[in-house]
Amino acid sequence: MKEFSCITITVLLFLTVDFCEAGRRNRLSGRGGRGGGSRERAVAAGRKLPKQDKSFFGDDTESGGAGAFQVGKKSRGESLSVNAYAGKKGYGYGSTNDCDICKTEGKPEELTLTYSSNGQNSFYQGEEYASCREGEYPTSARVSVGGETIEVSDGETITIPVNGGAVTSFEFLDDSSSDDSSSDESSSDDSIRNCFIHTSCSVPIVNGDQIGPWIVGDGEDGCEPPPCVVCDRNNKKTVTELILRYNTDGMNSEYQGEGYASCRKGTYPDDTRVRVNGETFNLKNGEEFTITPDGGAETSFEFLDDDDEDCFIHTSCSVPIVPGDQIGPFEIIGDSDCKKKPEECISATVRTDDEDNVVIDVTFDYADLSMDRPFVDNCNDRDENCPITDLSPKRSDFIGFYPCDAALDKTPFSIEPTIWSYTCYDDIRNGKVGQCRREGDATAAATITFDDETVPVFGSQGVYSTIGEIMEKGGGCYIVLLNRINGFSAPPYYNICEGNTIEIPPMN
Residue 22 has pLDDT above 80, yes or no: no
Residue type for 373, please? Answer: R
CA 307, CA 495: separation in Å to the nearest integer? 37
CA 503, CA 477: separation in Å to the nearest integer? 5
Which of 173-177, 322-326, 438-442, 470-474 has the lowest average pLDDT? 173-177
Partners of 141 in the beta sheet? Answer: 152
Q: How far is C-alpha 172 from the geometric centre of its chain's CA atoms?
A: 34
Q: What is the CA radius of gyration of the chain?
A: 28
pLDDT tens digit string along 232-268? 876 778 899 999 999 999 999 888 888 899 999 999 9
Q: How far is C-alpha 256 from the geometric centre of its chain's CA atoms?
A: 15
The number of CA neighbours under 13 Å toward the Cβ of 17 is 6
pLDDT tens digit string along 117-175? 988 888 788 778 899 988 889 988 999 998 899 999 999 999 999 987 899 999 998 75
Give the DSSP letter string of 240-285.
--EEEEEEEEEE--SS--TTT----SEE--SEEEEEETTEEEEEET
Residue 270 has pLDDT above 80, yes or no: yes
Question: Is-contact 491 370, C-beta < 8 A?
Answer: no
Alpha-carbon torsion (54, 56, 58, 62), positive or negative:
positive
Report the pLDDT averaged over residues 39-67. 31
Residue 362 has pLDDT above 90, yes or no: yes
Residue 506 has pLDDT above 50, yes or no: yes
Task: Report the length, in residues, of the chain.
Answer: 508
Question: How does residue 221 score in pLDDT terms, banded at 50, 70 and 90?
Answer: confident
Question: Is-contact 262 31, C-beta < 8 A?
Answer: yes
pLDDT at residue 435, as a whole number: 64
CA 33, CA 37: separation in Å to the nearest integer? 4
SS3 of 66-79 = CHHHCCCCCCCCCC
Query: Which of residues 225 and 379 earns the better pLDDT score?
Result: 379
β-pair type (157-161, 358-365)? unpaired
Q: How far is CA 432 from CA 75, 425, 439, 442, 458, in A?
A: 63, 10, 11, 16, 11
Rounded to the nearest 5°, which phi and psi values hold at 332? -75, 115
Q: How many CB atoms lie within 10 A of CB 354?
A: 5
The number of CA neighbours under 13 Å toward the Cβ of 496 is 28
CA 283, CA 269: separation in Å to the nearest integer? 9
CA 102, CA 205: separation in Å to the nearest integer? 6
Q: What is the pTM of this model?
A: 0.47
